[in-house]
Each structure stands twice: as structure tokens, then as C-alpha cells.
Amino acid sequence: MITRRAALAGLAAGVAAPVRAQGPAIRISTAAPPLDFLARLLERVKADCEGQLAVSVHPASTLFPQGTEVEAMQRGKLEMSTMTTFEVAQQAPELGFLNRGYLFSGYPHMRRVFQGIVGERYRKIVADKMGIQILATHYLGTRQLGLRQKRQVQAPSDLAGVRLRMTAGPEWLLLGRALGASPVPLGLPEVYAALKTGTIDGQENPLSVVHSARFYEVMEQVSLTAHMIQPVFLAIAKPVWDRLDPAQQTALGDAARNEAAWGDEARLQDEAAVATSLVGRGLAVDPVDIGAFQANADQVYAGPAKAWNRGLMQQVQAAS
């Protein structure tokens, strides 16, 4: 005889909706604003992995403060982040040459490097030395100088005493000095308010970030220093990567590479459009004497270059 409780249990089992497995949870922390292409491509990675992995995206440093994500991955507190060459060089100084100003001649040069032998060697060193797996390289943009108030800028000497926001870290601050400015370490989410109040005189970022973070509202000028063609890595803690099964690795790896490529194309198109839109918003967008900035960078980086892997750097330069 079937009891009423058993009948109800059987009925519930028969009508219950199947639960779709989502796999391990992968949290991605990034300093990128939600509207920036980096944050948007991560949302696309999340959608691509649905059903294989439970991916969540945390933009604007809402999960971990900018600059702390690498350590969080290494300590098992975070699965994925968007890691820069500057963060790598803190633990692998021989790779610091990728942080110097005026290294890449343009986006095609950067892409050739990371798709070639140098990129392969770079990823292996990072995996072996830092315990972090690089899944894809994304073009973060060409970094330009933005100023709170208009001033004549042609050479690094014109930026003497300018309080320029830089990401925290010794090699970021060195880049600020290579531009001739007085670098001030500050997290990206704090930059808008600091420009508005005059705590800083300027910032340097790709134009797409200037647009997505609305820095144009608190700036009067962009000087086209083009001092860095910057890559950023979609990176995962290697122990987390190694725990994924082959299907999950394929899903996440393919999604990272495909969406990074989408982000590259979108950002390249956006950079061209943003320069025009900034002029339309009343900002001055002015060229500078690139040769003067390059010469100053060569002097500033003469000391740190002693610790760099000269062979790899020469391969980068040969790919231009």
C-alpha cells in the first residue's frame, strides 16, 4: 500500500525541473569600469561558459582592490583576474622590459609579440614562477596623457611638477617619471573624484577608458603621448585551472581567446572615434614631440634595464 507521503514524494520527483550543472565557480576581479571593453568581454566569457562553469564578473575593483588580485589568486582567495605586465614584473623582474614606455610601435607589433615565441616563453615563465596561467592577451589600449587643466605640452620638461595619477607599483611610478611628471599612486575608481577636486593634475589611460569612466567630464586636455601600447592578460590561478576537466578548460580557454579578440577589434574602433568625440566635448586633443618623450624614456630606463632579459627584449624589438 502506498502511503500519502510516498505518493506526494513521487509526484514531486516527477515534476521537479532538472538542475543544470554549472561546474566550479570562477570569480573574475577587474579594475575596469563596467562599460569598458575589458569588463564587457568578461561578461561575454561568462555567457560563453554557461553550463560548464559558474562565472561571475566583478568590475571596478568591487571584489578586490586594484593591485591585490595577483596575491589573492596565489593565496587561493580568487580564481581569475585581469593581470598586467607590471604585476608580473614585480615577481619576475627579468620580464620588466615589457613595462617600459615606447616599447611597441603599435597594436600589430604587440599582437605579433604575444602570438609568437616571446609570448609563449612569457606565459611559461609566469606559470612556472607565479603559479598563474595566462589564457588570453587583450589590447587594453594606447595610453595617452589627460590633464585636468589646459597647458602647453610638447616635451617631458613641460610636465615638471604635474601630479600624475599612476597605478601603484614601482614600475608604474617609473613610467610616470619617464613622462617627466610627479607620479601619484591611486586606484582607478578614485581617479574621477581626484581630478574633480584637484588632488591630482592628470591621469594617463587609453582613450576608451577615458570615455567609459567619463574622465572627460573632469578634464580639459588630452596630450597624445602614446607612451604605451598596453596588453592585459586574462589570467587564472594555476591550481584552479589544473582542477578543471578538459571540457571546462576548453570552454574557458576558447571563450577567453575569442572574446579577447572581439575586445581588441571593438577597442581599436572605439579609440579612433573617442578622439573625435573628445574634441566635440570641448577638450583639446594635441600632438606632442614624441622624439623628446622617447629620448627621456631611454634615459630613465637605463638603470632598470640591467635586470631585464635582454635576449627576449631584442626579440620584441625585432618583431616591430
Nearest to 227 by CA among 168, 180, 280, 160: 180
| pLDDT in the model for residue 22 | 66
- 233-252 pLDDT, tens digit each: 999 999 999 999 999 999 99
Please state, in angstroms and rounded to a whole number, the distance separating the CA atoms of residues 83 and 233.
5
Q: How many CA atoms lie within 13 A of 194 on its CB side?
A: 19
| pLDDT in the model for residue 272 | 86
Find the Cα–Cα–Cα–Cα dihedral 265, 66, 121, 45, rounded to 10°: -40
Strands (E), the chain: 25-29, 54-58, 80-84, 132-147, 163-166, 182-185, 202-206, 221-237, 284-287
Distance set, CA 174 to CA 73, 158, 168, 179, 226 (Å): 26, 17, 10, 9, 16
Assess whether pLDDT exceeds 50 at residue 138. Answer: yes
- 50-98 pLDDT, tens digit each: 999 999 999 999 999 999 999 999 999 999 999 999 999 999 999 999 9
The pTM (predicted TM-score) of the whole model is 0.85
| pLDDT in the model for residue 19 | 39
Both ends of the chain: CA-CA distance in Å? 82
- 157-206 pLDDT, tens digit each: 999 999 999 998 889 999 999 999 999 999 998 999 999 999 999 999 99
CB 319 within 8 A of CB 197: no
Average pLDDT, the chain: 93
Domains and CATH numbers, the chain: 23-318 (3.40.190.170)
| pLDDT in the model for residue 3 | 46
Distance set, CA 150 to CA 79, 116, 203, 211 (Å): 42, 41, 13, 18
Please state, in angstroms and rounded to a whole number, the distance separating the CA atoms of residues 291 and 133.
37
Cell triple for 287:
600632438
